[in-house]
Structures are given as C-alpha cells and as structure tokens.
Amino acid sequence: MKKEDINKALFNAAEKVRKNAHVPYSNFKVGAAILADDGNIYAGCNVENAAYPEGVCAEAGAISQMVAAGQKQIKRIYITGSGFDPVMPCGGCRQKIREFASLGVIIISHGVDGEPLEKTLDELLPFSFGPESLGVKK
C-alpha cells in the first residue's frame, strides 16, 4: 500500500472515531489512528471525565485498542482535531507512543482545517526514556 493510501486510511479512521469523542468540558474532539505491524488500523478518541483531568486521550485509546488486539508495535500514527493548527500529542501521550514505536515512526498531526504536519517520534520527544533504557529489547 502506498504512503498516501495509508495516510488516507488512517485519517478516515481517526475522523470516524473523533465524532464519538466525549468532550463535555473542553468541547475539543480528537481522533487518533494507529497502523500496527500486523497491517491493521486501531483507533481511539478522547474521553473526558468530570474529575478533570482524569480523562483518556485519543492516542491512549488507540494504543489500548492495539494492545487489546495483541499488537505491540506502532508503524505510523495519525491524530486529528478541529482548527488549522496541527493537533499534537500531549507529553504523556508522546511517552505512551514511545513505549510502542521506534524513534523513526512518523506521527501525523492534523487540524482538519489546515495542513497535516509529519514529524518523527524523535523530533517530538528528543532524548527520550524508553524500554531499552531499562534493558528491555523491543
């Protein structure tokens, strides 16, 4: 599958679940879709909670879906939200992505009224602490 086709499939999956986000406090819906090493796409949306900030980010939801399906390796991730500016993963989600992705994995951040921004995990989380920092081989 070509990169453009993969990106389109990831975008569509992220947008589909973004509509289901539970965001009564921020009113900012986010969707995330992961291409795992099994070739499947796993998606998640943000879910807020009255005990703010105890909600779940879209990226964490997508990672949970991937792990629940028995997969452990992110190959590419696409994040969507409203507006023109790229919707970037928060610091906690950057670390969660780091657990399951190599530093060269592309993260696409997209405010759907603007242009998508592609960055590697290493660009978003330089000098990171990962599994190999604790002697765990991926």
- List the catalytic residue out of 59, 99, 115, 123: 59
Domain count, the chain: 1
The Cα 138–Cα 124 span in angstroms is 20
Closest CA to 109 of 91, 84, 138, 129: 84
Instruction: Quickly state the pLDDT bin for 137 (edges 50, 70, 90).
Output: confident
How far CA 22 is from CA of 37, 43, 127, in Å, comes to 29, 15, 33
Report pLDDT digits (tens) over 53-76.
889 999 999 999 999 999 999 999
pLDDT (tens digit, 9 = 90+) per residue, 94-123? Answer: 999 999 999 999 999 999 999 999 999 999
Q: Which candidate, 15, 25, 31, places its Cα nearest to that of 52?
A: 25
For residue 59, indicate whether it is catalytic. Answer: yes
Average pLDDT, stretch 37-54?
95
CATH at residue 61: 3.40.140.10
Question: Domain limits at 117?
Answer: 3-134
Nearest CA among 18, 30, 116 for reference residue 106 = 116
